[in-house]
């Protein structure tokens, strides 16, 4: 069964790392979903066969968070433009909504795939750690 606490932690980590790495150094943005899926599977108590699913959940939820933050930030900007220029503000609001939906869907898809990969990596690390503990004792 899916450990939703671990998925939530992984999703928040995914969103934060993706946003920070996109702003700081764009080519590394893909590490956010991978690390989110890794953490969710590594600290979670879910079944090993559900590792990819847990990682994908972190990517999808993290993508929703990123999309919401994108729409909230650019929504405020388009509102200010709308106050200054009535016609341009209407067009800016529509463009912001279309771009926001596109970025949200793209973030959810990419986050889901990369999160699943991170979940499988986290499962392997967790299982190798258990094997090494069993052989030591």
- The number of folded domains in the chain is 1
For 52, the domain range is 4-136
What is the rounded CA–CA span in Å between residue 50 and residue 39?
Answer: 14
CB 75, CB 29: distance < 8 Å: no
What letter does residue 1 receive in the DSSP assignment? -
Distance from the first to the final alpha carbon of the chain: 29
Q: What is the mean pLDDT of the chain?
A: 86
pLDDT tens-digit map of 57-96:
999 999 999 888 887 776 666 666 666 666 665 676 677 7
- Interhelix angle 31-43/51-84, rounded to 10 degrees, is 140
pTM for this model (two decimals): 0.84
């Amino acid at each position: 069964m899916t450990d939703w606490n671990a998925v939530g932690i992984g999703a928040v980590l995914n969103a934060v790392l993706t946003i920070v790495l996109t702003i700081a150094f764009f080519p590394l943005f893909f590490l956010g979903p991978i690390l989110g899926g890794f953490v969710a599977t590594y600290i979670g108590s879910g079944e090993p066969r559900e590792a990819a699913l847990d990682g994908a959940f972190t990517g999808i939820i993290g993508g929703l968070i990123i999309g919401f933050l994108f729409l909230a930030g650019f929504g405020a900007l388009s509102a200010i433009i709308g106050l200054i220029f009535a016609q341009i503000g209407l067009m800016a609001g529509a463009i912001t909504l279309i771009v926001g939906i596109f970025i949200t869907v793209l973030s959810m898809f990419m986050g889901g795939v990369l999160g699943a990969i991170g979940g499988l990596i986290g499962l392997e690390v967790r299982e190798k750690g258990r094997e090494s503990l069993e052989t030591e004792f």
